[in-house]
Structure 1
Amino acid sequence: MRAIPLGGFVGFPDDDPDSTIPPNDPNLLKNRPVLDRAIVISAGVIANLIFAYLVFVAQFSTIGIPEKFDYQAGVVVPEIISQQSPAAQAGIQAGDIIVAVNDQPLGASQDAVKSLMQTIRDNADNPVGLTVQRGDRQVDLSVTPRAGEDGIAKIGVQLAPNVAATQYRRPNGVFEVLRLAALQFQGMFMATVKGFVSLITNFSSMAGQVAGPVKIVEQGAGLVAANAGSLFPFTAIISINLAIINILPLPALDGGQLVFLLLEGLRGKPLPNRIQENVMQTGLVLLLGLGIFLIVRDTTQLAIFQRLFQ
């Protein structure tokens, strides 16, 4: 199983029943001070964040720094959040470009997304006519926005400006690369944190956006087909998401072990091993169950499966 590159893990002699190291050896992880153990447990999270930053460094170093942007008419639909959303039911697909709303063309500017979103919000439970560019043909669709629990009408898609960098320049030295990579990393990290906060505070309406490995691969393939350069930020955001997920105070994750260490520091002694093992095993079962659920759900929502059952 370890030969299959499904992820990484770290094993310590503490967990090896065949280890010949004496149980009281001061260099065993369980015998190290709380701070030492916290640093070791946090190493994976720190590595994920460093890797995401280095991805941006590689992006600016190889592709260059975008200097000119070309806005095209319309708004891009990078992702359909749920196959039960109004957009999916109306026939909107990931990769579509919405070029007109109610027969009114969307301009070629960064304000096109705001204009479309405002029209959707103003038409809760009212049909909205959309003209969609799909490949080399245009399709006329009608979608009826639904108001969420927050009262805001939505159609269940992600929207992005129809823009692409048309000219790049070479960076003015390594320090510019490091600075721009830091700014890009900071922006993406903060956006990801806000996304997790929204998921926790408004789980019922945001749960559909949680994706598993199948959905991630599908999105990555779509991005590479459209623009191979977009694979850099896509890779970085996956790494940032892994870091944030792992640091959450949930059983079987690094954050859960850090909680045990915090309790140990406050109590002056660790929790009984039986309690820790029961909590970790329960958390592991729940996480595996969630993973299986996401894989099944995302697989059945693939376009090829949707066509089979139509």
Structure 2
Amino acid sequence: MSVLAAITVLATLILVHELGHFIAARSQGIYANRFSLGFGPILLKYQGSQTEYTIRAFPLGGFVGFPDDDPESNIPPNDPNLLRNRPILDRVIVISAGVIANLIFAYLVLVLQLGIVGIPQEFKYQQGVIVKPVNEQSIAYQAGIREGDIILSVNDHELVAGNSSTLLLTKEIQTHPNQQIDLKIQRQNQAIPLKLTPKQGADGKGLVGIELGPNGGAVYRHTHNPVEIFTVAAKRFQQLVVGTIKGFGQLVTNFQATASQVSGPVNIVKIGAKLAADNSANLLSFAAIISINLAIINILPLPALDGGQLAFLLIEGLLGKPLPAKIQEGVMQTGLVLLLGLGIFLIVKETTQLEWVQNLLQ
């Protein structure tokens, strides 16, 4: 059920994005003859008075189709309500509306979450540090540490409730390269002793390949003041947008170090399913974060994305005329092939890394 919930969230975000384009077009009287959720073969179809609505086999995205370049369209090519015949500003509104819709949706989800769950006041710490091996090849995983384990002590030093425990565990790992350290792990109310030996990194510090996090959770306060809810949601929204932009900036400036952190649809669903299994309210945070990421990805000036089309409109505005249709089509088709290729690659890669698939391959 948690996997289904995560998939539903992703489908909703795609639907919101495409509805942004569709509503922006139809509200201006611009023709839109196709509205699709997904790509590939049609699974369900409904023909409206002006638009064909479809659900397709591959839920990697969606699209709104315009009759401008449809050879079967009986609309005269000089019709003012064709998208290509509208002023640049009208087309900018249509193309950017998907991004705007995702951002508005993310903010409203944060408002809903704060209204339901409450406003976080403080973080209540418990004993230990929650850990997650970075991959199955890491020293931590090979030693027996699994995602969600809680390290209670390291080298007989108890990890007390508080942020200092994370610092202490980090220090013990980094200062014992090529030396065995003793851990006590809590897993499902069982205490398990473990030993592992950090390897020495390039900087001389010990490494075991785990992510560390404080053990505990936030304490929430419910409020009936809508102004406070909208204000706190705005601050949280700003933090998420700025953090996402910085993340993409690091991907560009330090691609080699951050490329491995890029996730495809399978990992995104896996993360969402885990959040839903832990707490259904977490799906709201998941939806807001993914919606913001979807918006920022689409605004990038890359072929086949909204940002790529906006770049063409910018060039048209500077030159006073659009680039030749063949050039635009060639660039967009190449970008679409590369984008779909990347999506398929990530799906195959991440699917083969799933535990049940690994078991089948052994």
**TM-score interval, normalised by the smaller of the two chains:** 0.7 to 0.9
1:288 and 2:288 are equivalent in the alignment: no
CA distance in 2, matches of 1:228, 1:20: 49
SS in 1 for 2:64: coil
The structural deviation recorded for 1:42 is: 0.8
Q: How large is the Cα RMSD of the aligned pairs?
A: 2.6
CA distance in 2, matches of 1:152, 1:275: 52
The structural deviation recorded for 1:19 is: 2.0
- Structure number with the higher strand fraction is 2
Contact 1:127 1:145 in 2 (8 A): no
Which of 87, 92, 99 pairs up with 1:38? 92
Q: Which amino acid aligns with 1:165?
A: A
* Larger mean Cα displacement after TM superposition, 12-21 or 108-117: 108-117
SS in 2 for 1:264: helix
1:238 and 2:290 are equivalent in the alignment: yes
The structural deviation recorded for 1:87 is: 3.9
CA distance in 2, matches of 1:113, 1:125: 21
Q: Which amino acid aligns with 1:18?
A: E
The structural deviation recorded for 1:157 is: 4.2
1:171 and 2:223 are equivalent in the alignment: yes
1:63 and 2:108 are equivalent in the alignment: no
The structural deviation recorded for 1:298 is: 1.1
CA distance in 1, matches of 2:304, 2:81: 24
TM-score, normalization by structure 1: 0.87
CA distance in 2, matches of 1:248, 1:258: 9
Aligned length: 307
Q: Which amino acid aligns with 1:282?
A: T
The structural deviation recorded for 1:239 is: 0.7
Deviations 1:24-50 (A, max 9, x none): 122211112222212211111111111
Match of 2:244 in 1: 192
In structure 2, do the counterparts of structure 1 residues 66 and 195 end up closer, same or farther at CA, with 3 Å as the change threshold?
Answer: same
In structure 2, do the counterparts of structure 1 residues 27 and 94 end up closer, same or farther at CA, with 3 Å as the change threshold?
Answer: same
CA distance in 1, matches of 2:359, 2:256: 28
* Larger mean Cα displacement after TM superposition, 269-278 or 81-90: 81-90
SS in 1 for 2:272: helix
CA distance in 2, matches of 1:119, 1:191: 30
Which of 155, 173, 176 pairs up with 1:102? 155
CA distance in 2, matches of 1:197, 1:19: 42
The structural deviation recorded for 1:255 is: 1.1
The structural deviation recorded for 1:266 is: 1.7
In structure 2, do the counterparts of structure 1 residues 264 and 309 end up closer, same or farther at CA, with 3 Å as the change threshold?
Answer: same
In structure 2, do the counterparts of structure 1 residues 176 and 272 end up closer, same or farther at CA, with 3 Å as the change threshold?
Answer: same
Q: Which amino acid aligns with 2:333?
A: Q
CA distance in 2, matches of 1:272, 1:301: 44
Q: What are the ranges of 5 or more consecutive residues in structure 1 without an aligned counterpart?
A: none
1:10-89 correspondence to structure 2 within 5 Å: 10-67=64-121, 69-77=123-131, 80-89=133-142
CA distance in 2, matches of 1:112, 1:211: 30
SS in 1 for 2:252: helix
Q: Which amino acid aligns with 2:93?
A: I
SS in 2 for 1:250: coil
SS in 1 for 2:55: coil
Identity percentage over the alignment? 57
In structure 2, do the counterparts of structure 1 residues 158 and 254 end up closer, same or farther at CA, with 3 Å as the change threshold?
Answer: farther
1:133-212 correspondence to structure 2 within 5 Å: 133-139=186-192, 140-142=194-196, 144=198, 147=201, 155-166=208-219, 168-212=220-264
SS in 2 for 1:298: helix
Contact 2:201 2:207 in 1 (8 A): yes
Q: What are the ranges of 5 or more consecutive residues in structure 2 without an aligned counterpart?
A: 1-41, 43-53
Q: Which amino acid aligns with 1:159?
A: L
Which of 84, 88, 92 pairs up with 2:145? 92
CA distance in 1, matches of 2:301, 2:181: 43
Q: Which amino acid aligns with 2:292?
A: I
In structure 2, do the counterparts of structure 1 residues 15 and 217 end up closer, same or farther at CA, with 3 Å as the change threshold?
Answer: same
CA distance in 2, matches of 1:151, 1:15: 61
Contact 1:252 1:283 in 2 (8 A): yes
SS in 2 for 1:10: strand
CA distance in 2, matches of 1:247, 1:121: 40
Contact 1:82 1:208 in 2 (8 A): no
TM-score, normalization by structure 2: 0.76
The structural deviation recorded for 1:89 is: 4.1
The structural deviation recorded for 1:143 is: 5.3
Q: Which amino acid aligns with 1:58?
A: L
